[in-house]
């Protein structure tokens, strides 16, 4: 294909993908694939400037405004940014600037996280918020003033109104926990899930009814103004500090950098912590700090010369569905998991991705053999964002949930109002195996020597089948087996003897009752004081306990009334298992009544050691920031959970303070979200 023909093809491709991404919020390809196409276009146009046309994607910014909102013309255009992908690209960026300025000495910069949200402009007159709009095509955007007024982090009145008019630019976004909560609610309501935080933010702001927007967990960070001169500041650093003083939220990870090498260092730091942040960032924006130099450098057709966006490796990619397996969990939930053609996603080779449930398969219209867009955030299991229908092969069959359990053959059920399909057979081998694994794990009775592989081995050999069978194993059962010797068998039996007298709360949590974790189990122990009392409790008795909801109450009542469960408790008793209630002295342990959450990296303890200390000292462990959580222990690089705990006024401890607490010393502090540098700007 000749260069001119390829150039036209690229323009058409990029125009279509830009429309899908910016206007429809429905991308067909990943960001990384789009960037490669755009770079190819720029290279061809640089080699043949006579072929550049006004309608080329390189000559415009973003997409068209939607018709359903009033249009707003930006007094000063909201430009896009050119991209960098490597450290050398950043050094080349500085070389270009120095040549343009005929300057030998290094430039100083501001480096700012590039949020994956929706760019907006906020207009303040005499300190009052009077208008808000999307970027749109850079010149004309959509009037979303009413919607932006509902975003709590956007001040309706600035702390000072010394400026007649201030046109603020920034990013509206949704953090990870907000997206999870929103998608859980949408799944419950039978609505389509948002693929990522950017789509969630864009979809939320493009609601005609501001009341809907108000229910969405949106946030905002400011990154600049249309006319820096009106602020009276000489540089980006001072201007961001001023904007923070005015009450506008400024990202805490911005950095002043004396030279380009400091910029590269900060890029490395952001790359290392990006998945620990409460929100998604897809790169770092680098700006010449000095406004006089910015003015001298000016702008090209679509982007300023004095700024560049260094993008992280893509965390989305396209691949193909090869097969689908249906996994049965310990509560009977059947989860479809796709086997994929292996593909690199953000530096990790991905070959499997969850499809969540049958409703999600239908919403995404997934077929066998589909080309799909997949994504991963942090170290979570990758998921399929959507099928690329345009690449679907003729005759491809839709993926459907099975009618019968793939393990036991029992007919599957999908309870009304639930998205999950379940196997109702409590004797299903898959459920029994996963219950056994949980029962013996650190989250259960923590029986040393009975890890996942050992449990699977003994289950496959039919030496254990139900939970009480764990305590009925004999030495002669283990010694002939591969991987088992006299020493390992003795070690296991010693651990099993200790596990026969667990605390009542630990025993209840180990059973794997649906909706019952460590915190709920502790509430049951403190309220009923014995297993016999719990077995005799009614639904009303359970529902009266503060902290136990309707779902957990009904689940407990149903579980304990099951004849097979009552028989199981008899077998536990016959095997010598005696769950015990905490004594008065144990209830006075340092962490009695505390529900702790660990986040970040601990220096002195492993995470398992820390959790063990909590349980030994009378506390409980939780996996998220909830109303029941009383204390968060924050290690290095603590991210979204620390932020959420601060916002809720929870007690925050360092690792050292946690260790002091175990010694009975009074430590800890209520966080107000403010640090030693309240303006959020680190000075160079």
pLDDT digits (tens, 9 = 90+) for 178-220: 888 888 887 777 677 777 788 888 888 888 888 888 888 899 9
Most confident of 23-27, 347-351, 495-499: 495-499
Average pLDDT score over residue span 620-632: 80
Upper half-sphere CA count for residue 664 (Cβ side, 13 Å): 2
Query: What is the domain-level CATH number for residue 623?
Result: 3.40.50.10190
Same structural domain, 91 and 239: yes
pLDDT at 674 over 50: no
Query: What is the domain-level CATH number for residue 387?
Result: 2.40.50.140
Average pLDDT score over residue span 373-395: 79
Same structural domain, 183 and 271: yes
The conformational region for residue 474 under phi > 0 = left, psi -120 to 50 = alpha, else beta, is beta
Average pLDDT score over residue span 113-125: 93
Within-domain flag for 468: yes
Average pLDDT score over residue span 74-94: 92
> Other C-beta atoms within 10 Å of 563: how many?
7
Within-domain flag for 418: no
Q: Residue 204: its pLDDT value, please?
A: 86
Which of 5, 114, 442, 665 is the catalytic position?
Answer: 114
| 8 A C-beta contact, residue 408 and residue 427 | yes
Same structural domain, 84 and 18: no
Same structural domain, 570 and 600: no
Within-domain flag for 305: yes
Range(s) of the domain holding residue 45: 3-59
Q: Residue 587: its pLDDT value, please?
A: 56
Residue at which a domain ends, from 347, 377, 395: 395
Confidence of residue 664 (pLDDT cuts 50, 70, 90): low
Q: Residue 340: its pLDDT value, please?
A: 94
| 8 A C-beta contact, residue 156 and residue 128 | yes
| 8 A C-beta contact, residue 528 and residue 534 | yes
> Other C-beta atoms within 10 Å of 657: how many?
17
Confidence of residue 471 (pLDDT cuts 50, 70, 90): very high
Percent residues over pLDDT 70 in the chain: 90
pLDDT at 387 over 50: yes
Q: How far apart are CA 496 and CA 473, in angstroms?
A: 10
Same structural domain, 229 and 128: yes
Closest-CA residue to 577 (of 496, 464, 459, 492): 496
**Mean pLDDT in the chain?**
84
Q: Residue 292: its pLDDT value, please?
A: 95
Within-domain flag for 141: yes
Q: Residue 684: its pLDDT value, please?
A: 28
Confidence of residue 366 (pLDDT cuts 50, 70, 90): very high
Q: Residue 680: its pLDDT value, please?
A: 29
Q: How far apart are CA 251 and CA 117, in angstroms?
A: 14
Q: Residue 221: its pLDDT value, please?
A: 94
Q: What six digits make up the tokens of 681?
A: 């700007």
Give Cβ neighbours of residue 20 (< 8 Å, ≥ 6 apart). Answer: 26, 27, 28
Identify the weakest region by mean pLDDT among 171-180, 364-373, 425-434, 593-602.
593-602
Identify the weakest region by mean pLDDT among 50-54, 62-66, 166-170.
62-66
| 8 A C-beta contact, residue 524 and residue 534 | yes
Average pLDDT score over residue span 385-405: 92
Q: How far apart are CA 279 and CA 293, in angstroms?
A: 32
Confidence of residue 675 (pLDDT cuts 50, 70, 90): very low
Query: What is the domain-level CATH number for residue 182?
Result: 3.30.470.30
Average pLDDT score over residue span 112-127: 92
Confidence of residue 63 (pLDDT cuts 50, 70, 90): very low
**How far, CA to CA in Å, does 382 sit from each of 47, 149, 352, 373, 643?**
39, 35, 7, 11, 25
Average pLDDT score over residue span 268-283: 87
Q: Residue 490: its pLDDT value, please?
A: 86
Residue at which a domain ends, from 36, 59, 82: 59
Query: What is the domain-level CATH number for residue 8?
Result: 1.10.287.610
| 8 A C-beta contact, residue 422 and residue 415 | yes
Average pLDDT score over residue span 602-621: 79
The residue among 137 and 471 whose pLDDT is bigger is 471
Identify the weakest region by mean pLDDT among 130-139, 164-173, 523-532.
523-532
Same structural domain, 388 and 297: no
Give Cβ neighbours of residue 402 (< 8 Å, ≥ 6 apart). Answer: 326, 334, 412
pLDDT at 306 over 60: yes
Within-domain flag for 683: no
Same structural domain, 150 and 277: yes
pLDDT at 668 over 60: no
Closest-CA residue to 465 (of 514, 427, 495): 427
Q: Residue 1: its pLDDT value, please?
A: 60
Q: What six digits make up the tokens of 374?
A: 């997949």
Give Cβ neighbours of residue 654 (< 8 Å, ≥ 6 apart). Answer: 633, 634
Confidence of residue 396 (pLDDT cuts 50, 70, 90): very high
pLDDT tens per residue across span 37-48: 888 888 888 888
Closest-CA residue to 92 (of 293, 268, 264): 264
pLDDT at 112 over 70: yes
Average pLDDT score over residue span 588-598: 79
Same structural domain, 182 and 306: yes
Instruction: Give the phi and the psi of residue 624 in degrees, each rounded to 5.
Output: -150, 165
Alpha carbon distance, N-terminus to C-terminus of the chain: 51
Within-domain flag for 196: yes
Q: Residue 314: its pLDDT value, please?
A: 64
Q: Residue 322: its pLDDT value, please?
A: 95
Same structural domain, 83 and 121: yes
pLDDT at 628 over 80: no
Q: Residue 529: its pLDDT value, please?
A: 84
Q: Residue 553: its pLDDT value, please?
A: 82
Q: How far apart are CA 628 and CA 605, in angstroms?
A: 24
Same structural domain, 326 and 178: no
pLDDT tens per residue across span 524-549: 888 888 888 888 888 888 877 776 77
Same structural domain, 357 and 242: no
pLDDT tens per residue across span 411-434: 999 888 778 899 999 889 999 999
Confidence of residue 293 (pLDDT cuts 50, 70, 90): very high
Residue at which a domain ends, from 311, 338, 353: 311
Same structural domain, 243 and 348: no
Q: How far apart are CA 118 and CA 402, in angstroms?
A: 40
114 is catalytic: yes
Q: How far apart are CA 537 and CA 445, in angstroms?
A: 24
Q: How many domains does the chain fold into? A: 5
H/E stretch holding 607 reads: helix 607-616
pLDDT at 132 over 90: yes
H/E stretch holding 374 reads: strand 371-375
Within-domain flag for 413: no
Within-domain flag for 582: no
| 8 A C-beta contact, residue 391 and residue 383 | no
Q: What's CA 330's distance to the chain center, in Å?
A: 24
Q: How far apart are CA 647 and CA 640, in angstroms?
A: 11
pLDDT at 9 over 70: yes
Q: How far apart are CA 542 and CA 300, in angstroms?
A: 68
């Amino acid at each position: 294909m000749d260069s001119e023909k390829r150039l036209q093809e690229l323009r058409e491709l990029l125009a279509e993908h830009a429309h899908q991404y910016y206007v429809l919020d429905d991308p067909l390809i990943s960001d990384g694939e789009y960037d490669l196409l755009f770079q190819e276009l720029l290279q061809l146009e640089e080699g043949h400037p006579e072929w550049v046309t006004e309608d080329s994607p390189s000559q415009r910014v973003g997409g068209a405004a939607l018709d359903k909102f009033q249009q707003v013309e930006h007094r000063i255009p909201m430009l896009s940014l050119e991209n960098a992908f490597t450290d050398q690209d950043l050094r080349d960026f500085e070389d270009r600037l120095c040549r343009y300025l005929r300057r030998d000495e290094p430039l100083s910069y501001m480096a700012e996280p590039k949020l994956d949200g929706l760019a907006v402009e906020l207009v303040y007159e005499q300190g009052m918020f009077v208008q808000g709009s999307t970027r749109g095509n850079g010149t004309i955007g959509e009037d979303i003033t009413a919607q932006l007024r509902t975003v709590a982090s956007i001040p309706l009145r600035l702390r000072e109104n010394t400026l007649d008019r201030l046109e603020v630019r920034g990013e509206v976004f949704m953090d990870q926990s907000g997206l999870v909560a929103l998608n859980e609610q949408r799944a419950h309501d039978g609505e389509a899930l948002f693929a990522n935080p950017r789509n969630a933010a864009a979809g939320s702001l493009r609601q005609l009814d501001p009341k809907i927007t108000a229910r969405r967990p949106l946030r905002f960070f400011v990154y600049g103004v249309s006319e820096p001169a009106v602020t009276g500041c000489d540089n980006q650093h001072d201007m961001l500090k001023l904007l923070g003083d005015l009450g506008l939220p400024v990202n805490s990870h911005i950095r002043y950098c004396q030279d380009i090498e400091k910029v590269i260092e900060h890029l490395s730091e952001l790359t290392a912590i990006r998945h620990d942040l409460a929100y998604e960032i897809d790169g770092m924006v680098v700006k010449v700090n000095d406004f006089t130099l910015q003015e001298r450098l000016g702008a090209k057709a679509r982007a300023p010369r004095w700024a560049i966006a260094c993008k992280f490796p893509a965390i989305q990619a396209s691949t193909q569905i090869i097969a689908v397996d249906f996994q049965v969990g310990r509560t009977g939930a059947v989860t479809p998991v796709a086997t994929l053609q292996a593909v690199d996603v953000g530096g990790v080779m991905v070959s499997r991705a969850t499809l969540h449930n049958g409703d999600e398969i239908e919403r995404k219209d997934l077929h066998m053999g589909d080309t799909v867009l997949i994504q991963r955030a942090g170290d979570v299991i990758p998921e399929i964002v959507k099928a690329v229908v345009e690449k679907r092969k003729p005759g491809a069959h839709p993926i459907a949930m099975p009618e019968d359990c793939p393990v036991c053959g029992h007919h599957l059920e999908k309870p009304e109002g639930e998205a999950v399909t379940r196997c109702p057979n409590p004797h299903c081998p898959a459920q029994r195996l996963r219950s056994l694994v949980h029962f013996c794990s650190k989250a259960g009775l923590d029986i040393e020597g009975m890890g996942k592989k050992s449990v699977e081995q003994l289950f496959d050999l039919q030496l254990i089948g139900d939970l009480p069978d764990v305590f009925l194993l004999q030495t002669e059962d283990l010694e002939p087996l591969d991987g088992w010797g006299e020493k390992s068998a003795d070690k296991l039996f010693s651990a099993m003897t200790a596990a026969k007298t667990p605390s009542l709360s630990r025993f209840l949590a180990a059973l794997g009752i649906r909706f019952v974790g460590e915190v709920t189990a502790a509430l049951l122990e403190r309220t009923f004081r014995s297993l016999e009392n719990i077995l005799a409790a009614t639904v009303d008795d359970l529902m009266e306990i503060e902290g136990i909801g309707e779902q957990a109450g009904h689940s407990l009542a149903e579980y304990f009334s099951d004849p097979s469960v009552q028989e199981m408790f008899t077998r536990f008793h016959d095997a010598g298992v005696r769950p015990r209630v905490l004594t008065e002295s144990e209830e006075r342990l340092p962490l009695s009544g505390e529900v702790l959450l660990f986040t970040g990296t601990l220096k002195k303890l492993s995470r398992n050691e820390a959790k063990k200390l909590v349980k030994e000292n009378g506390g409980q462990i939780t996996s998220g920031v909830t109303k029941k959580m009383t204390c968060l222990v924050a290690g290095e690089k603590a991210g979204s959970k620390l932020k959420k705990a601060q916002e809720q006024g929870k007690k925050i401890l360092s690792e050292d303070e946690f260790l002091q607490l175990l010694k009975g010393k009074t430590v800890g502090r209520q966080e107000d979200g403010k640090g030693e540098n309240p303006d959020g700007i680190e000075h160079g």
